[in-house]
Amino acid sequence: MAQEIERKFLVVGAGWKGAWPVTSIRQGYLSTDPDRAVRVRVAGEQAFVTIKGPPSAGALARPEFEYPIPRADAEWLLDHLCLQPLIEKSRHRVTFHGATWEVDEFAGENAGLVMAEIELERADQKVELPSWVGSEVSADPRYTNANLARHPFSAWGRPGAGAAR
């Protein structure tokens, strides 16, 4: 079974910025159910549909199945079937001590949010944290992209906003 194991952190400061590869990402959700999220993503010139199951092992691991689809199909799904607003972000691939971190700078309804994630081989794998990594939010459901699609970061200042439902 395919599995994703990752840790997520808020980013502090600009120490991560540099001449790293950047990919523009536009993604939306056909389902945001925590037990079976279905995502459509356009990343650069590529497009994918991804199915994620419920988290386990302290919310770090979850089943994940990702398949390439034609970009035109993905664009249509994003524009016509996916929940709105879409997630828009720039993904920077930052190397730190031999590990690749993905730093996402969110735009649109989630502008102002910057998160870093690192994919692991094992849930108990030790990771050296860069100085620009702040609080860990791996187990906080507010920071899943599926929740950000339903409860955008820009609305969190309003009472009742931002909570995972």
Residues designated catalytic: 29
Nearest of 2, 103, 118 to residue 51 by alpha carbon: 2
Q: What is the three-state SS of the chain?
A: CCEEEEEEEEECCCCCCCCCCEEEEEEEEEECCCCCEEEEEEECCEEEEEEECCCECCCCEEEEEEEECCHHHHHHHHHHCCCCCCEEEEEEEEEECCEEEEEEEECHHHCCCEEEEEECCCCCCCCCCCCCEEEECCCCHHHCHHHHHHCCHHHCCCCCCCCCC
Match 């999220």 to its residue by tokens: 37
Q: Token pair for residue 133? A: 């990594």
Calpha distance 29→147 (Å, rounded): 10
